[in-house]
Structure 1
Amino acid sequence: MSDGAGRGPATGAEPSASRPVGTLPKAHLHLHFTGSMRVETVREMARSHGLRLPATLTTDYPPLFDAADRRGWFRFQRLYDVARACVRGEADMRRIVREAALDDGAEGSRWLEIQVDPTSYAPFVGGITPALEIVLDEAAEVSRVPGAAQVAVVVAASRMRHPLEARTLARLAARYAGSGAGTVVGFGLSNDERRGDTAEFAAAFGIARRAGLASVPHAGELLGAEAVAATLEAAVPDRIGHGVRSVEDPRVLDRVVEAGVALEVCPGSNVSLGVYDVPEEVPLRRLLSAGATVALGADDPLIFGSRLAEQYETARTVHGLSDAELAGLARASFAASRAPAEVRAAAERDIAAWLEDPGGG
């Protein structure tokens, strides 16, 4: 990258030495709580609660989505809802956080900002406050385990619900705002971006910003650049979940770059959901060439069948990024994160060491 922070492709870069991406230190900024689960975990939870899973999560796993099928999102959402229904209490919630941290750590992630809507799990644990506290407590616990990623939390509202609920969640998030593992570091807005008016959620993002939380809404995946423009106005984001379709309007992409808004690009889910037909169409190179700060994410590995390291591998094999450019993406992920200074400094040293070692070890 031109500045080592995910802003534009490197010039005259050495050919990739194919160092293992699993040893490259990374921050993971786009991972949903239920979607982070191992498929074996959701199967075990279903059995323990006497629930039946569809074949796409058992014998026909991983699910396949037809890119030409405009109902792909609804099929995805049904599967996600089925998996979420298997999470029935504190033990299940703690297991998800712990396994996400261990799985991310095993493939080089040092810092994870996991996104959760506590209203989804509140009925089983006595409310949204206990639900969030369980996640935060386990995040703090597992962050002390050697080899695990350190975990912070992004509280996410659903644009399928009333904006007043988003304000409630923003106030809850603000109560637990912090700057390290086991704290809330951001506030997001997720679900089908074709539903709801983003402007109606502006007040919730205002509450979050005043508490010092990062503003990290989804936009520019199912809708085009106009949705990114609307989100820039309403949410004043620090990062945008996805945002890939900002390339459809150079003026909008210029605004993203000028504002320093990072894009959480999730190549695997973009293709699975039919946003792009094939991996080559994901505009990773175009975003980087425009100067955008890009942090790769896995989105929902349970549904899409690929984790964070695979996104880096795709960047290398499909988009032709050199090892120096992959290191730039990793640096960008930390720069866009809310990781503490000491975590960033250690990652910077180890990213440099990864590049200096031809074996990437």
Structure 2
Amino acid sequence: MAHRDVRTLPKAHLHLHFTGSMRHATLLELAERDGIALPDSLVEDWPPRLSAADEKGWFRFQRLYDVARSVLRTPDDVRRLVLEAAEDDVADGGRWLEIQVDPSGYAARFGGITAFTDLVLDCVRDASERTGLAIAVVIAANRTRHPLDARTLARLAGQYAGRGVVGFGLSNDERRGRTSEFAGAFAIAERAGLLLAPHGGELLGPEHIRVCLDELHADRLGHGVRAAEDPELLDRIVGAGVALEVCPVSNVALGVYSDLTSVPLPQLIAAGATIALGADDPLLFGSRLAGQYATMRAAHELDDATLAGLARSSFAASRAPAELVAQATREIDDWLAAPPEMMPR
């Protein structure tokens, strides 16, 4: 079948977690260097079989994530992770990346949340210069920690607004804690002019999305895919211009949907939603940015014009500078105007 290579389609990547962006080979190398024993699911059985259908399943997922985080021991390790994430995005057609990080998860080893944020931003600048990929940071709080910790991170994010940090998020298992209790942290971030991007609408459905909209004033939803279950809510999201960071491969891996054909991307597109496909945690799910476009093309028989529309949508949902968005839009048009090639199925 003749179609265009999704790897050369210009894209903005808006849902990529810091630790989860690590290359599998890098994880193995760093673990061997420091004698860190990895579970089989991160070695010969990689990518791991995951499910978050219950709390036990999410605990296993989180444990693997924590093990992966533990191999980052030095500033050079952090620098390598960011550079390799940028290289991988460029190889997949990335033009803009907003990488999400919770500094509190690294504070003990790297001198505190401010010192680690400084390190990450320095690594981001270096990786951007070396790869040509424009990169920004979204600081995310962990919903399994106290809401006061989230306020601390929101103030931290606000201090770096305009200096590499563009947004504030809320991650981890959305079934844990009370989302409304994080409203204070999001109010701090909102006053600082940051994009508000909590996780919602993946493990929980439409009612939790409403909480994210009403209490946290979300500009974007990390996932948000289950808005498709409530047409009235979906209309509200579209009307308000709230973007959805849809991560198809991780949705299936975590058991939100049984298979890729069940991911309701066509319904979201038909409703007029602003959508940015994202890889979430490639280290745990085994698929990077271009893979999200490729799997959705195959699962839903999307034509190249639809894929180009998704790519444009990803830039519309981003905090990328206007000139970068304009350039990327021209490149997307050029991609679509080029003749398709015979590509393997």
Q: State the one-letter code of the partner of 2:204.
A: L
Count of residues in correspondence between the two structures: 341
Q: Which of 100, 109, 113 is matched with 1:115 structurally?
A: 100
Q: Give the Cα separation in 1 of the matches to 2:96 and 2:232.
A: 32
Instruction: Kindly report which structure 2 residues correspond to 1:187-206, keeping only aligned pairs within 5 A, or say none.
Output: 187-206=168-187
Q: Which of 57, 76, 82 is matched with 1:97 structurally?
A: 82
SS state at 2:235 partner:
helix
The 8 Å contact of residues 88 and 121 in structure 1, kept in 2 or not, is answered as no
Instruction: Kindly report which structure 2 residues correspond to 1:188-227, keeping only aligned pairs within 5 A, or say none.
Output: 188-227=169-208
Equivalence for 1:235: 216
Note the alpha carbon deviations across 1:31-80, whole angstroms, 9 max, x for none. Answer: 00000000011111112222110111111111123587774322211111
Q: Give the Cα separation in 1 of the matches to 2:311 and 2:261.
A: 21
Q: Which of 29, 39, 44 is matched with 1:54 structurally?
A: 39
User: Which runs of 5 or more residues in structure 2 are unaligned?
Assistant: none
Instruction: Kindly report which structure 2 residues correspond to 1:142-153, keeping only aligned pairs within 5 A, or say none.
Output: 142-146=127-131, 148-153=132-137
Equivalence for 1:288: 269
- CA-atom RMSD in angstroms: 1.5
The 8 Å contact of residues 189 and 218 in structure 1, kept in 2 or not, is answered as yes
SS state at 2:98 partner:
strand
TM-score (norm 1): 0.92
Q: Give the Cα separation in 1 of the matches to 2:293 and 2:127.
A: 25
Task: State whether structure 2 residue 251 is matched by structure 1 residue 251.
Answer: no
Compute the displacement of 1:292 (Å).
Answer: 1.0
Q: State the one-letter code of the partner of 1:350.
A: E
Q: Give the Cα separation in 2 of the matches to 1:128 and 1:288.
A: 38
SS state at 2:3 partner:
coil
CA distance 1:340–1:68, change in 2 (3 Å): closer
SS state at 1:82 partner:
helix
CA distance 1:68–1:119, change in 2 (3 Å): closer
Q: State the one-letter code of the partner of 2:185.
A: A
The 8 Å contact of residues 171 and 199 in structure 2, kept in 1 or not, is answered as yes
Note the alpha carbon deviations across 1:134-184, whole angstroms, 9 max, x for none. Answer: 1111111111124x4221100000000001110100110111111xxx600
Q: Percent identity?
A: 63
Q: Which moved more, 1:202-211 or 1:26-35?
A: 202-211
Compute the displacement of 1:127 (Å).
Answer: 0.5
Give the structure, 1 or 2, with the largest relative contact order (CA under 8 Å, sep 6 or more). Answer: 1
Q: Give the Cα separation in 2 of the matches to 1:144 and 1:89.
A: 21
Equivalence for 2:117: 132
Equivalence for 2:257: 276
Q: Which of 159, 171, 177 is matched with 1:175 structurally?
A: 159
SS state at 2:166 partner:
strand
Note the alpha carbon deviations across 1:274-293, whole angstroms, 9 max, x for none. Answer: 00011111010111111111
Q: State the one-letter code of the partner of 1:272.
A: A
Q: Give the Cα separation in 1 of the matches to 2:293 and 2:6.
A: 7
SS state at 1:314 partner:
helix
Compute the displacement of 1:341 (Å).
Answer: 1.3
User: Which runs of 5 or more residues in structure 1 are unaligned?
Assistant: 1-15
